[in-house]
Amino acid sequence: MNRSVAIGAGVVVLLAALIAYLSAYTVGMTQQAIVLQFGDPRAVVTAPGLHWKLPIIQNVVYIDKRILSLNVPPEEIIAKDRKRLVVDAFARYRIVDSLRFYQSVGDPRNSSNRLQPNFVSSLRNVLGDHTLEELVRDNRAGLMKRIQTAFNGAAQQFGIEVVDVRIRRADLPEQNSQAIFQRMQTEREREAAEIRAQGNEEAQRIRSRADREVTVIVAEAERDAQIARGEGDATRNSIYAEAYSADPEFFAFYRSMEAYREGLKGDNTTMVVTPDSEFFRYFGNESGRR
């Protein structure tokens, strides 16, 4: 009898423990929970701690309370001026209405798939109203704020609040970038060729001017040299004439000495003249008279 009572008590305790285990659940600081009964929401729990539910017939779905990220693949956007642009952007959001989020999205793991079309649509609508120059250089912070506002309006149906939108990169498509690069390279090569041609033309002009100036300078120098040489010769002849007229005999003697010095240079000088030649008149007679 006692054994049967003990077994029965043990079974009751086990059942109670099992029921307690199936009925209890905990909610973390970063979580909120939705209690479902046969798939229908019955309660929303936002306070952290230990909570209770009906065992077996109720289950709990946890929703994150933290700020979450929505990343989408780079999208090709057509700007207002019909230019194509590849935009890489992401958004950050938090779930503020967990019940609406669950009812519209279902499994939280599918949230990115449900939100992505709305985010891409907001990107296209806002960026499509601006030119390429505005998207790349001008008020990008303002554009991101407008995208956030548009996406937030579309995301309210999911019970979420968009807290930030960022554009990581905004570039031209690869084929456009290559075409623009080739065009820029061709343009730079053309400009370089023009600059080189202008430089060669200027260099040729400078060389021609320098050659002309050199020719003029050389001609003037030669003219001045000829003038100076002529003046020197005239002065020399004048001095010779004065010296000759002052003392013809001494002048003749001096000229003969100069002739001897020039004619008898070197160790092997050979001269073929007659002994009574006029050239040797001062050798035997210092007066030069015969």
Flag whether pLDDT at 100 surpasses 60: yes
In the structure, what pLDDT confidence band is assigned to residue 93 with cuts at 50, 70 and 90? very high
Residue 170's Cβ-count burial label (10 Å; 0-12, 13-18, 19+) is buried
In the structure, what pLDDT confidence band is assigned to residue 276 with cuts at 50, 70 and 90? low
Q: How many CA atoms lie within 13 A of 98 on its CB side?
A: 20
Flag whether pLDDT at 41 surpasses 80: yes
Q: So what's the pLDDT on residue 277?
A: 63
Give the tens place of pLDDT for each residue, 106-131: 777 888 888 888 998 888 888 888 77
Residue 118's Cβ-count burial label (10 Å; 0-12, 13-18, 19+) is buried
Higher-scoring residue by pLDDT: 266, 162: 162
Hey, what's the torsion of the CAs at 258, 259, 261, 263, to 10 degrees?
160
Mean pLDDT of the chain: 79
Q: So what's the pLDDT on residue 290?
A: 47
C-beta of residue 76 within 8 angstroms of C-beta of residue 134:
no
The pTM of the full predicted model, rounded to 2 decimals, is: 0.54
Hey, what's the torsion of the CAs at 148, 151, 155, 160, to 10 degrees?
-10
Q: Among residues of the chain, what percentage have pLDDT more than 90? A: 2
Q: So what's the pLDDT on residue 20?
A: 72
C-beta of residue 57 within 8 angstroms of C-beta of residue 38:
yes
Q: Report how far apart the first and last C-alpha atoms of the chain are (Å, whole number).
A: 190
Flag whether pLDDT at 92 surpasses 70: yes
Give the tens place of pLDDT for each residue, 50-84: 888 888 888 888 888 888 888 888 888 887 777 78
Give the tens place of pLDDT for each residue, 173-223: 665 556 556 777 778 888 888 888 888 888 888 988 888 888 888 888 888
Give me the sign of the Cα torsion angle 170, 175, 180, 182.
positive
